[in-house]
Structure 1
Amino acid sequence: MTLSETDLRAAIAREMPGVRADLEQLVRIPGIAFEGFDHTQVDRSAEAVAELLRGCGLDTQIVRRGGQPAVIGRKAAPAGAPTVLLYAHHDVQPAGDPALWTSDPFEPVERDGRLYGRGAADDKAGVMAHVAALRAFGDQLPVGVVVFVEGEEEYGSDSLDAILEEFREELRSDVIVIADSGNWDIGQPALTTSLRGLVNLFAEVKVLKSAVHSGMFGGPVPDALITLARLLTTLHDESGEVAVDGLVGREGASVDYPADRFQQEAGMLDGVELIGKGSITDRIWTKPSISVLGIDAPRTFEAANALQPSAKAKISVRLAPGDDPKSAYAAVRSHLEKHVPWGAQVEVTLESDGSPCVIDATGPAYEAARAAFRTAWDGTAPVDMGVGGSIPFIATFQDLFPQAAILVTGVEDPHAGAHGPDESLHLGEFERVCIAEALLLKNVAETLTSK
């Protein structure tokens, strides 16, 4: 017998203390896939996730194809019932400077209804939302499930394509739930229907064979830092609009995002102005953006009185849906080569890229999801929203499983601070996410099961 809404709400409430305790245990594991970190911690994280899935009755294996370990758990569907793939990732971003955190980033702490810690929101809570839904059903799960928990999403998912290709049949499903996005606001659920793509690249300018005395040669000789700074300013016009020819962009995002709310959520300082043109949602969902993430240069306290011979910047380009990473990289490279000042040499190299995506969020699986969200949030309908960030592998899922409905959900809210210090999870919203996922599985079973 299928569990009722009342049964599932009660089951989630019963399971939440254990779910939270297991989430805290996951947060304590610093599973960082970036180079230079202890990757045995990523192994620990994968083992912990695998044990959680085994506890839900899933046949579970840890797989690795050249990168960090992923976890796959499977439970076959009842006769005629659909199969749902539940995705999350167990690796996390580096914590950065511990001094910027109010508490230890890898020791979860609750403050004012939020659980603080690296990965508390992105994306170990995504893992635990799947576990919570499975625990709520127990042995009465009405659908087949495949739980796929990746181990290097934050580091670029380099081995993901190989894993997806090798385990394609094991992962084949009717509905794919990707729990790695967020909701529109506290109390306002959302389905993500578009994400920008990404091109990360390096631009290095060279002006001298080696450093020279700034007094003897400064003036006629351009130093590399001034040269790089002038080059970087050409990427935007006076209003802050991206000024690179060949990048795709459009207007017309339908959701209103008040500028004052956006500025507050971004943590902008008083007096700092927004850049670019158009609505906020256009600027972060459907238009490209370019940011400088870092510069290689002497630190101020150790800088000599010398003109620097070279300087290097890491540039991040977010691509609007409809753009292509390869053509976008070519456009930015061409712009930099064309605009480098004073005859300086410039070398542009690609670090990584990923495709944007648009999801056609229509059909029975999406209606099942919207109904689940509406119920979990006590009548509040979900927003269909875009995201300025990138999850490039969604395009891979679309290519490999074209018949599957892809639902991009998540546990974050605008105050979660993912990737930054004091990352946190709103515990009340997290319980709603868990209720919504359980109801989604119930609704999918009732909608898609063949009679």
Structure 2
Amino acid sequence: MTVDPIAETVATLMPRAKTELAELVRFQSVADPAVAPRSECEAAANWVAGALRGEGFQDVALLDTPDGSQSVYGLLPGPEGAPTVLLYAHYDVQPTLDEAAWVSPPFELTERGGRWYGRGAADCKGGFIMHLLALRALKAGGGIPVSVKVIVEGSEEQGTGGLERYAEAHPELLRADAIVIGDTGNFRVGLPTVTATLRGMTMVRVRIDTLEGNLHSGQFGGAAPDALAALIRVLDSLRAADGSTVIDGLGAEASWDGLQYPVEDFRKDAKVLDGVGLLGSGTVADRLWARPAVTVIGIDCSPVAGATPSVPASARAQISLRVPPGHDASEATKLLFTHLEKHTPWNARVSLEQVGQGQPFRADVNSPAYTSMADAMRIAYPGEEMQSAGMGGSIPLCNTLAALYPEAEILLIGLSEPEAQIHAVNESVSPQELERLSVAEAHFLVNYARSKQA
């Protein structure tokens, strides 16, 4: 059997990769000052900048973006006339949610059952380590055959658009022939997958006010308008009886004709409790990748602990709406606003605030860069062919880059396969996937350089 020198080199680099990922995971880099201090994000950004400088990158800079976050940029020039490839990841992470539900500390990389656990291990600090591994393997084998730009974002999880607006104001900075977004994942462990579509998103806060202040429920309950009850009615209006998303005027009947997601596999991946039904109709792939999906991600009202027998005067919720390709996120937001206002009962006062938005994205999987990636994945995953799938998540930067650089080929790969449980408690990364995808990315860079010379 032929030995792949790139794969051999990556294998020797894995202990260093684990150490570095542990250092990066240690930063509590949630880009929300209400959750974590800004200093944590700044420290993570400086760590990333130091790693780039250590690899010989030039022009390494911390970019102050309009949303108050920092993105990290670096350039590694390649041979004269070589194409330029932009590698993307983000160092900001989701909040930990219920920290007590984590089996091991969320910001301490912990090996367990053959996986590495920690917030951001897969999404997307591991993606940055993947890029480093690929570049190091090529340097050890004689050199990197392309010019490389790296951009590591600091507020992707917030959807506040800082890097998008910075890129629009500095259009030459991220210009490249090909762009590898290291923030998606294989359909499952061991099955090499590129992501063909991303749903866009809009994030909205809705507040209901009915009274000047809380009232004794015994004295006024039954006639006094209950703000929490009104909010519950509003939120319930966003779903049909089968759980399908319902927003007046927003189509939700599209179907997915690519790789399918068997129901039992999904139930296992999503850890659905026995006997609990799934939401919606159509195939699982239809529901995840082709149709809008609304989720109530938080509610503010009187907590159960310390609750008093009173009628709530105010209640607030945050709603995430995922928007599939074929829809405009701005129009979907308008429809959501109109729906919420229309379905608010009892003439309660409703106020709405948009706090984030990103457009859906569809990649051209027939471009030459995808051929280079398919060949690379055959080497990294012997016996497997590259698959194309959708992803229900959003990466707002993709559409910005596609608009700025219409000739650039955009590929989406990454470490967020279902077992990674990104955005949930006990997020983890498969070190085997980190190793194999790093090998695939290194071979892609070689293949892509050759394809541009042909």
Which range, TM-score by smaller chain?
over 0.9
Unaligned ranges ≥5, structure 2: none
Please say if residues 253 and 286 of structure 1, whose CA atoms lie closer than 8 Å, have aligned partners that are also in contact: no
Q: CA–CA distance in 2 between the matches of 1:175 and 1:290?
A: 33
1:409 equivalent to 2:410? Answer no
Map of 1:14 onto structure 2: 12
* Paired positions, count: 447
Aligned-pair CA distance for 1:14: 2.4
Kindly report which structure 2 residues correspond to 1:146-165, keeping only aligned pairs within 5 A, or say none. Answer: 146-165=149-168
Aligned-pair CA distance for 1:142: 0.7
Identify if the C-alpha distance between structure 1 residues 165 and 335 changes in structure 2 by more than 3 Å, giving closer, same or farther: closer
Please say if residues 161 and 396 of structure 2, whose CA atoms lie closer than 8 Å, have aligned partners that are also in contact: no
Aligned-pair CA distance for 1:356: 0.7
- Which 4+ residue blocks in structure 1 deviate beyond 3 angstroms? none
Aligned-pair CA distance for 1:29: 2.1
Identify if the C-alpha distance between structure 1 residues 256 and 43 changes in structure 2 by more than 3 Å, giving closer, same or farther: same
% identical aligned pairs: 40
**Residue 305 (structure 1) aligned to one of 288, 293, 309:** 309
1:278 equivalent to 2:282? Answer yes
Aligned-pair CA distance for 1:389: 1.0
Please say if residues 48 and 72 of structure 2, whose CA atoms lie closer than 8 Å, have aligned partners that are also in contact: yes
Map of 2:183 onto structure 1: 180
Aligned-pair CA distance for 1:157: 4.6
Aligned-pair CA distance for 1:176: 0.2
Aligned-pair CA distance for 1:30: 2.0
Q: CA–CA distance in 1 between the matches of 2:315 and 2:99?
A: 28
Kindly report which structure 2 residues correspond to 1:309-320, keeping only aligned pairs within 5 A, or say none. Answer: 309-320=313-324
Kindly report which structure 2 residues correspond to 1:104-143, keeping only aligned pairs within 5 A, or say none. Answer: 104-138=105-139, 140-143=143-146
Please say if residues 168 and 400 of structure 2, whose CA atoms lie closer than 8 Å, have aligned partners that are also in contact: no
Between stretches 212-221 and 102-111, larger displacement belongs to 212-221
Structure 2 residue matching 1:256: 3-state secondary structure: coil
Counterpart of 1:185 in structure 2: which amino acid? Answer: R
Aligned-pair CA distance for 1:402: 0.7
Please say if residues 160 and 355 of structure 2, whose CA atoms lie closer than 8 Å, have aligned partners that are also in contact: no
Structure 2 residue matching 1:180: 3-state secondary structure: coil
Q: CA–CA distance in 2 between the matches of 1:397 and 1:372?
A: 24
**Alpha-carbon displacement from aligned partner over 1:230-258 (angstroms, at most 9, x marks no partner):** 22211111112222222244113322211
Please say if residues 160 and 357 of structure 2, whose CA atoms lie closer than 8 Å, have aligned partners that are also in contact: no
Kindly report which structure 2 residues correspond to 1:259-408, keeping only aligned pairs within 5 A, or say none. Answer: 259-408=263-412
1:101 equivalent to 2:120? Answer no
Identify if the C-alpha distance between structure 1 residues 43 and 329 changes in structure 2 by more than 3 Å, giving closer, same or farther: same
**Alpha-carbon displacement from aligned partner over 1:182-211 (angstroms, at most 9, x marks no partner):** 111011011011011111112222222322
Please say if residues 203 and 347 of structure 1, whose CA atoms lie closer than 8 Å, have aligned partners that are also in contact: yes
Q: CA–CA distance in 1 between the matches of 2:37 and 2:278?
A: 39
Counterpart of 2:53 in structure 1: which amino acid? Answer: R
Q: CA–CA distance in 2 between the matches of 1:15 and 1:274?
A: 42
Identify if the C-alpha distance between structure 1 residues 40 and 210 changes in structure 2 by more than 3 Å, giving closer, same or farther: closer
Please say if residues 146 and 171 of structure 1, whose CA atoms lie closer than 8 Å, have aligned partners that are also in contact: yes
Map of 1:24 onto structure 2: 22
Q: CA–CA distance in 2 between the matches of 1:141 and 1:188?
A: 27
Q: CA–CA distance in 2 between the matches of 1:121 and 1:252?
A: 26
1:237 equivalent to 2:240? Answer yes
Aligned-pair CA distance for 1:122: 1.0
Between stretches 435-444 and 208-217, larger displacement belongs to 208-217
Q: CA–CA distance in 1 between the matches of 2:223 and 2:63?
A: 59
Please say if residues 12 and 431 of structure 1, whose CA atoms lie closer than 8 Å, have aligned partners that are also in contact: yes
Structure 2 residue matching 1:181: 3-state secondary structure: coil
Identify if the C-alpha distance between structure 1 residues 333 and 416 changes in structure 2 by more than 3 Å, giving closer, same or farther: same
What root-mean-square deviation, in Å, do the aligned CA atoms of Structure 1 and Structure 2 show?
1.7
Identify if the C-alpha distance between structure 1 residues 231 and 77 changes in structure 2 by more than 3 Å, giving closer, same or farther: same
Structure 1 residue matching 2:182: 3-state secondary structure: strand
